[in-house]
DNA sequence: CTATTGACGACAT
DNA sequence: CATGTCGCCAATA
């Protein structure tokens, strides 16, 4: 019989192992904290794949479930977002993450 | 198989 | 600080 989660399953299964790993890591970033692309890269065992991490996120199929807006650049800059950096900034602001001149100000809550 | 494409990073200037 | 260059990497054409 076909599970009622078949659609989600299909979507999930269509992802590569690499992509699944990436999304899985990001899913764990809790509210009020942020991580860098580099951090995620290291977490999935590809320490130099930070660029590829971004490529995964730009097509994040679970925009609601996976808080990819919490991933920023290692130099403290905001970084991109599929719905536009502006949106990303607003969401983060709501979550208590502050930026000034496109630079993160609170370095306490960042995972590097 | 090769080439291109980026939500990147380190480093030089 | 700001900007440019070069290296990196998985996906995709």
Per-residue pLDDT tens digits for A47-105: 999 999 999 999 987 898 999 999 999 999 999 999 999 999 999 999 999 999 989 99
**Catalytic residue positions of A?**
68
Query: pTM for the complete prediction?
Result: 0.93
> Which pLDDT band holds residue A29 (cuts at 50, 70, 90)?
very high
Record the tokens describing residue A36, joined without a space.
């860098």
A56 touches strand C (CB under 7 A): yes
Q: What is the pLDDT of residue A9?
A: 67
Q: What is the pLDDT of residue A4?
A: 77
Q: Is the pLDDT of residue A23 over 80?
A: yes
A20 touches strand C (CB under 7 A): no
Cβ neighbours of A32 (radius 10 Å): 12
Residue A42 (CA) to nucleotide C4 (C1'), in angstroms, measures: 26
Residue A59 (CA) to nucleotide B6 (C1'), in angstroms, measures: 12
């Amino acid at each position: 019989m076909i599970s009622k989660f078949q659609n989600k399953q299909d979507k999930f299964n269509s992802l590569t192992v690499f992509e699944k790993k990436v999304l899985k890591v990001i899913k764990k970033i809790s509210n009020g904290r942020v991580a860098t692309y580099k951090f995620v890269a290291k977490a999935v065992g590809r320490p130099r794949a930070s660029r590829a991490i971004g490529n995964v996120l730009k097509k994040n199929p679970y925009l609601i479930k996976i808080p990819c807006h919490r991933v920023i650049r290692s130099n403290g800059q905001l970084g991109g977002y599929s719905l536009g950096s502006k949106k990303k900034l607003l969401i983060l602001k709501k979550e208590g993450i502050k930026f000034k001149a496109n630079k993160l100000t609170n370095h306490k809550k960042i995972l590097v």
